[in-house]
């Protein structure tokens, strides 16, 4: 099928099978669709910004410390994820596993703090029913958090496959693709903390 795999002998492992190459390209295109998905949630958020219907305001609830912690957890996890792929290209299965587990732990920490944050807000009277603004907030952040959670389960599954089969063109492509997903989610978070928290905490809109 298609091009001769031997011409890719010098490429990183994840590019050495045709399935791997096609899957990687296909996933980049899927990320283009995800950019649009999140942009629609952002558009909704901006249009509904400030429409709190006389209820509790975001500036009253947002906590800068919490946001900084969550941001750094995710940022560091993106770094450890990058190192995991670097280790993969060095051919070190052990390196991949260790740095990936670190990534997942940091991600789980992020999700944990986010769940705590959501419970706290609901307790303070800001839930998805309260007003259009809070609906937009919870769905934007919740969609991102759900993506991260799904990613944790997905990458755990891939780790099991690495344990069983080691680093092959197929398993390498899976690690690479899941790393693309993970980095992408950090990119989305950059826009979330800018558009939601910095604007909210700084009273910029």
Residues 48-67 that bind other proteins (CB under 8 A): 48, 50-55, 64
In angstroms, give the least distance from the CB of 116 to other proteins: 21
- The stretch near other proteins (CB under 8 A) out of 102-110, 113-121, 175-183 is 175-183
Task: Take residue 40 and report the two structure tokens written for it.
Answer: 């629609």
In angstroms, give the least distance from the CB of 112 to other proteins: 20
Residues 95-124 that bind other proteins (CB under 8 A): none
One of 8, 97, 101, 109 touching other proteins (CB under 8 A): 8
Q: Determine if 32 is a binding residue for other proteins (CB under 8 A).
A: yes
Q: Determine if 94 is a binding residue for other proteins (CB under 8 A).
A: no
Instruction: Name the one residue in this structure whose structure tokens are 């780790």.
Output: 159
- The stretch near other proteins (CB under 8 A) out of 34-42, 100-108, 109-117 is 34-42
In Å, what is the CA distance from 31 to each residue of 12, 13, 28, 105, 161? 21, 22, 5, 24, 24
Q: Determine if 46 is a binding residue for other proteins (CB under 8 A).
A: yes
How far is residue 28's CA from residue 32's CA, in Å, rounded to a whole number? 7
Task: Take residue 167 and report the two structure tokens written for it.
Answer: 């680093």
Q: Determine if 93 is a binding residue for other proteins (CB under 8 A).
A: no
Q: Smaller CB distance to other proteins: residue 27 or 117? A: 27
Q: Which of 82, 75, 53 is nearest to 178 (CA)?
A: 82
In angstroms, give the least distance from the CB of 130 to other proteins: 5
Task: Take residue 115 and report the two structure tokens written for it.
Answer: 């769940």
In angstroms, give the least distance from the CB of 129 to other proteins: 5
Angle among Cα 27, 100, 156 to the nearest 5 degrees reads 70
- Cα maximum dimension of the chain: 66
Instruction: Name the one residue in this structure whose structure tokens are 């050495």.
Output: 16
One of 66, 113, 139, 149 touching other proteins (CB under 8 A): 139
The DSSP output letter for 152 is: H
Q: Determine if 130 is a binding residue for other proteins (CB under 8 A).
A: yes
Q: Cβ neighbours of residue 191 under 8 Å, at least 6 residues apart?
A: 38, 42
Contact string (CB under 8 A) for other proteins, positions 67-86, x = contact: -x--xx--xx-xx-xxx--x
């Amino acid at each position: 099928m298609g091009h001769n795999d031997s011409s890719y002998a010098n490429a990183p492992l994840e590019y050495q099978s045709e399935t791997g190459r096609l899957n990687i390209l296909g996933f980049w295109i899927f990320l283009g669709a995800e950019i649009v998905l999140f942009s629609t949630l952002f558009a909704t958020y901006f249009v509904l910004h400030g429409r709190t219907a006389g209820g509790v305001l975001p500036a009253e609830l947002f906590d800068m410390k919490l946001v900084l912690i969550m941001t750094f957890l995710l940022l560091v996890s993106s770094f450890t994820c990058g190192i995991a792929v670097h280790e993969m290209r060095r051919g070190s299965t052990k390196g991949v596993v260790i740095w990936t587990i670190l990534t997942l732990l940091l991600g789980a920490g992020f999700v944990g703090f986010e769940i705590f944050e959501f419970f706290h807000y609901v307790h303070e009277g800001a839930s998805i029913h309260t007003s259009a603004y809070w609906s937009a907030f919870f769905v934007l952040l919740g969609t991102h958090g759900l993506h991260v959670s799904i990613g944790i389960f997905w990458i755990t599954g891939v780790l099991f496959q690495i344990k069983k089969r080691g680093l092959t063109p197929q398993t390498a492509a899976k690690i690479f693709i899941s790393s693309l997903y993970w980095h992408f989610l950090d990119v989305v978070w950059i826009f979330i903390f800018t558009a939601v928290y910095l604007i909210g905490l700084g009273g910029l809109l």
